[in-house]
C-alpha cells in the first residue's frame, strides 16, 4: 500500500509539474503519425512487401507504444541525472556507429543500419545518438562558459568531428548536415564572436564542397545536386512523383486511399510522408500540421527565454533546433526546394529508430521545461 502511494505520489508530482501544453502538442503529433500510418501508408506499403495489410500499422503502433514509454521515462528523470544517463547511452550508441562500416547492413549503396539479430529490430545508430549528442555537446559548451568559451568550442569539435567522419563514410550527408548545423547553432547562440563564427562556417563549407566535387565516393551527391539544379538531368523520379502528388492533391486532397504516390515510390511512408498526406488530405492538412510544429517550437523557445541555467538553455535549444531542421529538410525535399535526401519527418514518419529518437528528444524537452513544485 505504501509502495502504491509512492508511485501515485511520484506520478502526481510529475503531472503537476509537466508542461501539459507541450505534452499535448507532442502526443498530438505522434497520434497523427499513427493515424496516417493506418489510413494512408499501411495497406499499399504492405502490398509491396506481400504482407498482411495491417503489418505496417501494427509495427508503427508497437513503436509508438515504445516511444511513449521512453518519453515518460526521460520526462520522469531527475534533472541532474539526464547528463549521466546521456553520457552512458551516447558511448554505447557511438560504439555501434563506429561498427557500422564493419558489420552494418548495406541498403541502396549506404551502410547506415545495424542488425543485431534475434527479436531485436534493425536500427540506425545515428538516430539514437542524436538526443544524447545534444545533451553532452551542450554540457561541454556551457562549462564555465565566460572564462573558457573557445576552449569549450575546441572540446566540442572533438565530439563532433568523429561523428561527422563516420557519417561521411557511410555516406549519410543528410544526418551530417543535421549534426553540423545543430553544433553551429549552439555555438552561435552561446555568444561566439561573429567574425570567427562565419570564418569557421566558410571553412567547413569549403571542406564539404571539396569532398563533393573531388572525392569519387561522394559523386552521387554531386549528381543529386546537379539533377536538382537542372531538372532535365539525372534521376529525379522520386522527387518528381512527390511534387506531382502535392499538385494532384490540391488544397483539399483526393480522399483517403485515393493517392497514387504510395504505389509509385518505395519510401513514401518514411521519406515522403508529407507528399502522401498532401495528396490524400490536401495542402490544408499539411499546413495545419506544420502549424503544430511551429506552436511547439514557440512554446519551447518561450521556456528557453525564461530559463536561467545556460546548460539547460542549450539542451532545449539543441533539441528543438534538431527537430525543426529535420522537419525543414523533409518538407523541402517533398516540395522540391531541396535536393533529395533520405530524411524522416519527426513524429509522423514510419521508422522505429526515428520514432525512438524523437521520443527521447521529447522526453528531454518535457523534463527540462517542468516546474519545480515538489509538494504533494
Question: Of the candidates 153, 179, 182, 184, which has an alpha carbon nearest to the alpha carbon of residue 166?
Answer: 179
**Phi/psi-derived region of residue 27, left when phi > 0, alpha when psi is between -120 and 50, beta in every other case:** alpha
> How far is the C-alpha of 164 from the C-alpha of 174, rounded, in Å?
11
> How far is the C-alpha of 129 from the C-alpha of 93, rounded, in Å?
6
Tell me, what's the pLDDT at 80?
A: 82
> What 8-state DSSP symbol labels residue 105?
E
User: Hey, is 110 helix, strand or coil?
Assistant: strand
pLDDT tens digit string along 228-238? 666 655 566 67
pLDDT tens digit string along 167-218? 888 778 888 889 988 998 888 887 777 777 787 778 877 877 777 777 766 6
**In residues, how long is the chain?**
376
Residue 370's alpha-carbon distances to 80, 198, 243, 357, in angstroms, are: 13, 35, 41, 20
Q: SS3 string of 111-137?
A: EEEECCCCCCCCECHHHHHHHHHHHHH
Q: What values do phi and psi take at 146, rounded to 5? A: -65, -35
Cβ atoms 343, 174 nearer than 8 A: yes
Tell me, what's the pLDDT at 249?
A: 82
Tell me, what's the pLDDT at 12?
A: 82
pLDDT tens digit string along 310-360? 899 999 999 999 999 999 999 988 888 887 777 889 999 888 899 999 999
The predicted model scores a pTM of 0.88
> How far is the C-alpha of 156 from the C-alpha of 187, rounded, in Å?
9
Mean pLDDT of all residues in 103-130: 80
> How far is the C-alpha of 350 from the C-alpha of 335, rounded, in Å?
19
pLDDT at 3 over 60: no
Tell me, what's the pLDDT at 123?
A: 86
Give 2's pLDDT tier (boundaries 50, 70, 90): very low
pLDDT at 373 over 70: no
Tell me, what's the pLDDT at 376?
A: 47
Tell me the three cell numbers of residue 52.
498482411
> How far is the C-alpha of 183 from the C-alpha of 157, rounded, in Å?
9
> How far is the C-alpha of 294 from the C-alpha of 286, rounded, in Å?
12
> How far is the C-alpha of 253 from the C-alpha of 245, rounded, in Å?
10
Amino acid at each position: 500500500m505504501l509502495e502504491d502511494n509512492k508511485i501515485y505520489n511520484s506520478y502526481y508530482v510529475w503531472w503537476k509539474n509537466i508542461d501539459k501544453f507541450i505534452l499535448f502538442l507532442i502526443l498530438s503529433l505522434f497520434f497523427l503519425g499513427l493515424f496516417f500510418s493506418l489510413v494512408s501508408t499501411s495497406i499499399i506499403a504492405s502490398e509491396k512487401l506481400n504482407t498482411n495489410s495491417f503489418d505496417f500499422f501494427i509495427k508503427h503502433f508497437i513503436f509508438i507504444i515504445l516511444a511513449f514509454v521512453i518519453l515518460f521515462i526521460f520526462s520522469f528523470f531527475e534533472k541532474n541525472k539526464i547528463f549521466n544517463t546521456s553520457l552512458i547511452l551516447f558511448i554505447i550508441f557511438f560504439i555501434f556507429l563506429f561498427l557500422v562500416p564493419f558489420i552494418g547492413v548495406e541498403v541502396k549503396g549506404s551502410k547506415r543500419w545495424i542488425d543485431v539479430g534475434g527479436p531485436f529490430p534493425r536500427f540506425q545508430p545515428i538516430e539514437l545518438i542524436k538526443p544524447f549528442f545534444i545533451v553532452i555537446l551542450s554540457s561541454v559548451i556551457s562549462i564555465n562558459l565566460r572564462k573558457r568559451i573557445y576552449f569549450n568550442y575546441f572540446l566540442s569539435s572533438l565530439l563532433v568531428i568523429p561523428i561527422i567522419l563516420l557519417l561521411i563514410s557511410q555516406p549519410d550527408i543528410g544526418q551530417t548536415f543535421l549534426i553540423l548545423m545543430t553544433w553551429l547553432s549552439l555555438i552561435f547562440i552561446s555568444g561566439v564572436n561573429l567574425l570567427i563564427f562565419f570564418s569557421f562556417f566558410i571553412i567547413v563549407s569549403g571542406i564539404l564542397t571539396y569532398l563533393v566535387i573531388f572525392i569519387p565516393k561522394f559523386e552521387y551527391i554531386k549528381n543529386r545536386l546537379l539533377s536538382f539544379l537542372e531538372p532535365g538531368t539525372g534521376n529525379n523520379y522520386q522527387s518528381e512523383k512527390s511534387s506531382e502528388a502535392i499538385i494532384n492533391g490540391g488544397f483539399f486532397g483526393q480522399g483517403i486511399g485515393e493517392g497514387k504516390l504510395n504505389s509509385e515510390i518505395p519510401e513514401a511512408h518514411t521519406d515522403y510522408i508529407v507528399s502522401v498526406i498532401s495528396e490524400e488530405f490536401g495542402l490544408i492538412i499539411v499546413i495545419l500540421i506544420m502549424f503544430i510544429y511551429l506552436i511547439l517550437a514557440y512554446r519551447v523557445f518561450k521556456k528557453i527565454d525564461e530559463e536561467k541555467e545556460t546548460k539547460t538553455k542549450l539542451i532545449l535549444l539543441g533539441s528543438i533546433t534538431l527537430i525543426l531542421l529535420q522537419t525543414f529538410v523533409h518538407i523541402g525535399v517533398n516540395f522540391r526546394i531541396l535536393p533529395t535526401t533520405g530524411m524522416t519527418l519527426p513524429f509522423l514518419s514510419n521508422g522505429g529508430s526515428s520514432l525512438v529518437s524523437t521520443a527521447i528528444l521529447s522526453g528531454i524537452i518535457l523534463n527540462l521545461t517542468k516546474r519545480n513544485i515538489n509538494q504533494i
